[in-house]
Amino acid sequence: MADYSANESMLGYLYQARYALHAALSRMQSGSTANVRIEQLDDVSFDGPGTPTELLQLKYHTDPSTTIPNASADVWKTLRVWLDQGDGYSFTTENPIVRYLITTGRAAEGSATYYLRDRDRDEKKASDLLKKTAETSKNKDQQDVYALFLKLKPEERSALIATLVVVDGEPLLDDLEVGLQNMLYFAASTDKRPAFLRRLEGWWFQRCVQHLRDKAAPPVTAVEIQEELELIREEFRRDNLPINPEIFSIVEQEGSDRDFVRQLQLIEVTGPRLAGAVSSYVRAFAQRSEWIRDDLLTPGELSRYEDRLREAWRVRFWETREELGESAAESEKVSMARALYKWVEQEADIRIRDMCRESFVMQGTYHGLSDRLEVGWHPDFEARLAALLESDPV
């Protein structure tokens, strides 16, 4: 059996993945528990426990006025996939699989695809038109599939046509995104749905990539989709904020020349601890930027959060200064400063929202404040940083 994996542009792949998600959610809303597969049995397929029930071939046209006539490559490439099932396979009316040809184009009026839609359907006319096309068309690239179609017994051809449904005029890629947002009405408010969908699609696209890489990858189950929806919905609660999983792939190395790094070097934080601090700083910056872009923070929320961090630091910092006194040795100052920084690393739990638990948010925001010299660890951090900057060559 030939391998008819999609080999179209990235746009086509994106449409395939997004349409699969849309189709899965639509079926779940109707009570279906079917599994979904990408590029395994077909472009997209749905099945029960090991039994395929729906096969979807997707044909994406950026121009929605594109028509699909009888000799269209969209029709015959689709039929080639379904006809080339290997020796011994035959089409019957027993336990039929529904086969969908889904296109953003339009079925040409009076064509086979026109009569295979779920409206104005006439299977005999469609079959006759396809048979005539296979017998008379001179298209060299399609002679092989014409032969496969004509080789079918009349009852097999009728069984195939009976299971074939053309769905034309489907939404374009951007319109499909809007449709998906509308389907998520139950999960997030209108203004939060674009961000919610980006989070859901990020997970979904990873699953699609897994299927593209591995034909034996397990299907995506309705339960798995529902669990992911509930997980994301929890992140979009009023007392929480979503964390982009890709944030954790950010791993920075020490060596930054930022002031927050100089502050840590003053108290002899080096190696993996310093690298971890740099990673937390970059992750927090990236995540806050994403929250702001997605309009997930309330007005002034980030400023109020930084005020809380500064206040918590201020109490401990001045307590440390009082305990040290004016005549403390440098080793004592460093020791106390390291204890203060250890509090930030291991003990403090000051959250921007109660259910937003990721520690890098707080730690990275502290490093941002440290970079602006609004907080510090060494008792004399301001004077020490000023001296370091003065000694740096221009």
Structure tokens at 292: 């702001």
Q: Are residues 259 and 207 in the same domain?
A: no
Q: Are residues 218 and 272 in the same domain?
A: no
DSSP for 245-271, written as a single string: GGGGG--PPS---SHHHHHHHHTT--H
Number of structural domains found in the chain = 2
Confidence (pLDDT) at 41:
77
- pLDDT average per 10 residues of sequence, the chain (394 residues): 48 91 95 90 85 92 94 96 74 83 96 95 97 96 95 93 96 95 92 94 92 88 95 94 92 78 95 94 96 95 98 96 89 95 97 97 98 96 85 58
Q: Are residues 292 and 374 in the same domain?
A: yes
Confidence (pLDDT) at 255:
60
The verdict on residue 265 lying in a domain is yes
End residue of a domain, out of 183, 214, 235: 235
Q: Are residues 69 and 201 in the same domain?
A: yes
Q: How many Å is the maximal CA-CA distance in the chain? A: 102
**Cα torsion 250, 286, 381, 319: sign:** negative
Confidence (pLDDT) at 331:
94
End residue of a domain, out of 214, 235, 256: 235
Confidence (pLDDT) at 388:
79
Q: Are residues 262 and 145 in the same domain?
A: no
Q: Are residues 119 and 15 in the same domain?
A: yes
Q: Are residues 151 and 219 in the same domain?
A: yes
The verdict on residue 35 lying in a domain is yes
Confidence (pLDDT) at 162:
94
Sheet holding 164-167, edge to edge: 35-38, 44-47, 52-59, 98-103, 164-167
Q: Are residues 252 and 288 in the same domain?
A: yes
The verdict on residue 71 lying in a domain is yes
The verdict on residue 4 lying in a domain is no
How do residues 295-332 score in pLDDT, each as one tens digit?
999 999 999 999 999 999 999 999 999 998 888 999 99
Structure tokens at 135: 């017998």
Q: Are residues 179 and 263 in the same domain?
A: no
End residue of a domain, out of 235, 269, 296: 235
Confidence (pLDDT) at 1:
40
Provide the 10 A C-beta neighbour count for residue 269: 21
Q: Are residues 25 and 46 in the same domain?
A: yes
Confidence (pLDDT) at 394:
47
**For residues 299 and 310, what is the distance between their CA atoms, to the nearest angstrom?**
19
Confidence (pLDDT) at 373:
96
**Domain assignment of residue 20, given as a range:** 10-235
Q: Are residues 325 and 218 in the same domain?
A: no
**For residues 197 and 199, what is the distance between their CA atoms, to the nearest angstrom?**
5
Q: Are residues 30 and 150 in the same domain?
A: yes
Q: What is the pTM of this model?
A: 0.81
